[in-house]
Amino acid sequence: DGGITQSPKYLFRKEGQNVTLSCEQNLNHDAMYWYRQDPGQGLRLIYYSQIVNDFQKGDIAEGYSVSREKKESFPLTVTSAQKNPTAFYLCASSVTKNTEAFFGQGTRLTVV
Amino acid sequence: AQKITQTQPGMFVQEKEAVTLDCTYDTSDQSYGLFWYKQPSSGEMIFLIYQGSYDEQNATEGRYSLNFQKARKSANLVISASQLGDSAMYFCAMREPNLTQGGSEKLVFGKGTKLTVNP
């Protein structure tokens, strides 16, 4: 089945450690996005990528990094510079130009 | 500046009645797309409906319709005949070109409205 897969579903890390969230899609979509959602809040854009080897900062990119070496993959690294990383992270992909984005199931990151 | 504004943190509706969820947006571009998503308590994001800025007709998808008022920059979601399963968070979103990065597009979301359908 075509879709977008995020792993793991739950992730626990110690404070000060970097952690990488996986996002893979087999929909042949060009665009991919990473969002952060805090309890009771909307989705805030972290990074997005339109094509391989290119990505742009969203509204809250500080403390995060991404790569887009393959069309299918857009991993997000939460670095130790991110002061409050505990949140629900959603990855999405879309064909560009006025089509809906498809979302993964999300990764809930808890830093202890 | 906030691009998408949803002014209703929470809404209540009786089962089988209609409800309107408000969304206003801010953009200087002529070409953009507006979307509504539903997020149940499970956390998944479910696409509901899309409206393009050049579409003359209001979008409809089953029980969902979008009341698009371009001059007012408003894209309200109307849910007819509410069902208990409609209880969820609803997010309005907009895709617009990133003028500083030619060819790329941002997809930004509002803060959402929590809809509760009462039996």
Q: Give the pLDDT confidence score for residue B103 in this predicted structure.
A: 57
The mean pLDDT value of chain B amounts to: 92
Q: What is the pLDDT of residues B78-118, one digit of tens each?
A: 999 999 999 999 999 998 776 555 556 788 999 999 999 99
Q: Look at B104 and A33 and tell me if their CB atoms are within 8 Å.
A: no
Q: Give the pLDDT confidence score for residue B101 in this predicted structure.
A: 57
Q: What is the pLDDT of residues A53-101, one digit of tens each?
A: 999 999 999 999 999 999 999 999 999 888 899 999 999 999 866 678 9
Q: Give the pLDDT confidence score for residue A39 in this predicted structure.
A: 85
Q: What is the pLDDT of residues B33-47, one digit of tens each?
A: 999 999 999 999 999
* Nearest-angstrom CA–CA distance, B31 and B80: 29
Please choose, from the candidates A50, A57, A3, the residue with its C-alpha nearest in 3D space to the C-alpha of residue A26. Answer: A3
Q: Give the pLDDT confidence score for residue B16 in this predicted structure.
A: 97
Q: Give the pLDDT confidence score for residue A40 in this predicted structure.
A: 77
| CB neighbourhood size of B31 (10 A) | 14
Percent of chain B with pLDDT over 70: 92
Gap from B16 CA to chain A (nearest CA, Å): 26
Mean pLDDT, residues A38-67 taken together: 92
Question: Out of B6, B47, B104, whose CB is closest to A100?
Answer: B47
CA atoms within 13 A on the CB side of B78: 12
Task: Tell me the residues of B at the A interface, defined by beta carbons under 8 Å apart.
Answer: 6, 33, 35, 43-45, 47, 50, 52, 91, 93, 95, 98, 101, 103-112
